[in-house]
A and B are shown apart, each in its own frame.
Chain A
Amino acid sequence: MKNEKYIEELVNRFVKEESAVIPNPFIATRIMAAISHNSQPAVKITPLWRMAMAAFILTLAVFAGVTAGNLYNGAATDNNAVLINDNAMEHFGFYTAVADEETE
């Protein structure tokens, strides 16, 4: 079993060795180059025109969506469309229309 003092000495030696590691001498230059490369200011403020533009585009998209939704007419399927579209349920009006044609 290791004694407490021995363990503390080992930990202290480890910390001392790691603390003595010297970084790359050009690290400050590297940091400054990274900052210049990104060229972002200390405070980044979103310009007002950009925010207004985003709000305008969003409003336009909502308006277009609502208008497109209102244009749709659910009862506009005629008899020919029912024949063409296999996925549509055949409605009763189709059979009465065929019967009418036959009697004519």
Chain B
Amino acid sequence: MNDGELIHSILQGNQRDYERLVQKYHPNVFRMAMGLLHNKEDAEELTQDVFIKVYRSLSTFAGKAAFSTWLYRITVNTGLTYLRKKKRQRIWVNLSSLFQQPSADKQPEVLVTEKSEREIIRHAIENLLEKQRIAFVLAKYEELPQKQVARVMGISEGAVEQLLQRARYNLKKILEKKLPRT
């Protein structure tokens, strides 16, 4: 059964076929979620949210684009909403931490040097502009060709190329500054 036939069957009320669709695509959605959130639990939660959303709006899938393109688009949009929500929560946490006593255990400089390379790279990716970040995740984590990235983002291939170049340049600039010198 191809995707179109599966979707038709699901819309007829065969929920079991939706499970087949989930089994087929959840690794892709999860990988993308990891690229956006960098945390396994959050990525699993996002994957679940995406598939619930897809199930509820399956009847609106026109079939003009491939199902995977539509799915990636929903993943990107849901992921961005999730990130904004997390950002708001982080602001509240940071505000509340202002009223707490600073830890006397470690000096701030020591804490900075203890940051692993992984955290610095993650932070650098998180600091990319939204569109650069999406293009980077689709191209690097999902290894999608630029043509499909363009289709998912609804922009031209040239624009994707530019976004990826800028993402690479910005990552290099941030990492050159922040990575500990060896």
- Interface residue ranges of A33-63 to B (CB < 8 Å): 34-36, 38, 40, 42-44
Give, as a whole number of angstroms, the nearest-CB distance from A4 to chain B: 6
Which B residue's beta carbon lies closest to that of A36? Answer: B15
Interface residues of A in 66-94 (CB under 8 A from B): none
Stretch at the interface among B32-40, B75-83, B90-98: B32-40
Q: How many A-B residue pairs have CB under 8 A?
A: 87
By secondary structure, the B interface counts as helix
Question: Known interface pairs A1-B176, A18-B38, A28-B22. Does A40 touch B48 (Cβ–Cβ under 8 Å)?
Answer: no
The answer to the question of B85 belonging to the interface, with a C-beta cut-off of 8 Å to chain A, is no
User: Which of A2, A4, A15, A35 is the one whose CB lies under 8 Å from B140?
Assistant: A15
Known interface pairs A2-B179, A32-B18; A14-B55 also in contact (CB < 8 Å): no
Residue picked from A11, A12, A24, most chain B C-beta under 10 Å: A11
Are the CB atoms of A35 and B175 closer together than 8 Å?
A: no
* Chain A residues whose C-beta falls within 8 Å of the C-beta of B27 in the assembled complex: 23
Q: Is there contact, CB below 8 Å, between B121 and A23? A: no
Residue-wise, chain B 48-86 has the 8 Å CB interface mask toward A (1 for contact) of 100110011111000000000000000000000000000
Closest CB-CB distance, A9 to chain B, in whole Å?
11
Which residues of chain A have C-beta atoms less than 8 A from B175's C-beta? 2, 7, 10-11
Tell me whether chain A's interface is mostly helix, strand or loop, or mixed: helix
Q: Tell me, yes or no, whether A27 is within 8 Å of chain B by CB.
A: yes
Smallest distance from the beta carbon of B4 to chain A beta carbons, Å? 15
| Given A23-B26, A38-B52, A42-B55; 5 other pairs, CB 8 A cutoff | A12-B140, A23-B40, A28-B22, A35-B52, A36-B15
Q: List 23 A-B contacts (CB under 8 A).
A: A2-B176, A4-B172, A7-B171, A7-B175, A10-B117, A11-B121, A15-B35, A18-B34, A18-B38, A18-B141, A19-B31, A23-B26, A23-B40, A27-B26, A31-B22, A31-B26, A31-B47, A34-B48, A35-B18, A35-B52, A35-B55, A38-B52, A42-B58
